[in-house]
């Protein structure tokens, strides 16, 4: 099958892109489409504020425009889904954001979902987004591990914080499914799920598998029209 699903990490931290690539590796299969993970070199080292989200959109759109001819679909691999709607206007290919796909997947795995966020200041962005999605009646809570992208390189520290937050979401907020609120958390999905005993959604995996289905079945995208 021709075309590539491009998974674009909108921050400039190559370690995060490598972790995303490992997370989506089980989704690669004979017959395609191919899955390629890319780093947005002009993005911030970590996406930690609304200013970071808004500021990277022009670079993201330019990178995607350069890839349009080879693309089967695009995945925006940041939990704020930066530029997703603008890219949907620009591209004729399916465009998926990991936050949207992660939450929608969680709704199929449990009744009340909780989000393990990266930083406290991420939460207002998440709440605005969840409100726009219309899913607040299924939302249990959103709690941060309070670690930056750089600090999350410490596996023991990060997993320990994620387990503590996940336990609170499960036991106090009554979440029966969790969504990891950062693509840089991908490597912790399996140990977190084992420790907590509830489904844990890695949102980039959720977005890529949706993109895969869209491409294989010919759903989505749109014809290019003149303004």
Confidence grade of residue 206 (pLDDT, cut at 50, 70, 90): very high
Q: For residues 85-108, b (16+ Cβ closer than 10 Å) or e, as one string?
A: eebbebbebbbbbbbbbbbbbbbe
pTM score, whole prediction = 0.92
Q: pLDDT tens, 131-164?
A: 999 999 999 999 999 998 889 889 999 999 999 9
Res 227 pLDDT > 50: no
* Model confidence pLDDT, tens digit, residues 83-139: 999 999 999 999 999 999 999 999 999 999 999 999 999 999 999 999 999 999 999
What is the token pair recorded at 205?
């995996």
pLDDT of residue 221: 64
What DSSP designation does 105 have?
A: H
Does the N-terminal peptide bond of residue 116 adopt cis geometry, omega within 30 degrees of 0? no
Q: Which pLDDT score, from 0 to 100, does residue 103 have?
A: 98
2 confidence band (pLDDT: 50, 70, 90) = confident
- pLDDT attached to residue 223: 58
Burial of 66 (0-12, 13-18, 19+ CB in 10 A): exposed
Beta-bridge partner residues of 104: none
Tokens of 182: 């950062």
């Amino acid at each position: 099958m021709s075309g590539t699903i491009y998974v674009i990490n909108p921050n400039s931290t190559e370690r995060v892109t490598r972790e995303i690539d490992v997370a989506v590796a089980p989704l690669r299969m004979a017959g395609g489409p191919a899955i390629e993970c890319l780093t947005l070199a002009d993005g911030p080292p970590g996406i930690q504020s609304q200013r970071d989200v808004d500021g990277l959109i022009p670079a993201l759109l330019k990178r995607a425009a350069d890839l349009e001819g080879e693309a089967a679909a695009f995945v925006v691999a940041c939990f704020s889904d930066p530029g997703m709607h603008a890219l949907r206007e620009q591209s004729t290919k399916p465009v998926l954001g990991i936050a949207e796909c992660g939450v929608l997947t969680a709704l199929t795995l449990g009744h009340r979902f909780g989000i393990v966020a990266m930083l406290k200041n991420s939460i207002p962005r998440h709440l605005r987004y969840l409100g726009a999605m219309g899913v607040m009646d299924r939302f249990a809570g959103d709690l941060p591990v309070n670690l930056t992208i750089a600090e999350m390189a410490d596996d023991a520290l990060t997993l320990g914080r994620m387990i503590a937050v996940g336990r609170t979401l499960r036991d106090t907020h009554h979440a029966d499914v969790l969504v990891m609120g950062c693509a840089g958390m991908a490597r912790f999905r399996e140990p977190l799920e084992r420790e907590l005993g509830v489904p844990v959604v890695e949102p980039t995996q959720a977005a890529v598998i949706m993109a895969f289905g869209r491409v294989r079945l010919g759903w989505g995208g749109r014809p290019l029209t003149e303004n």
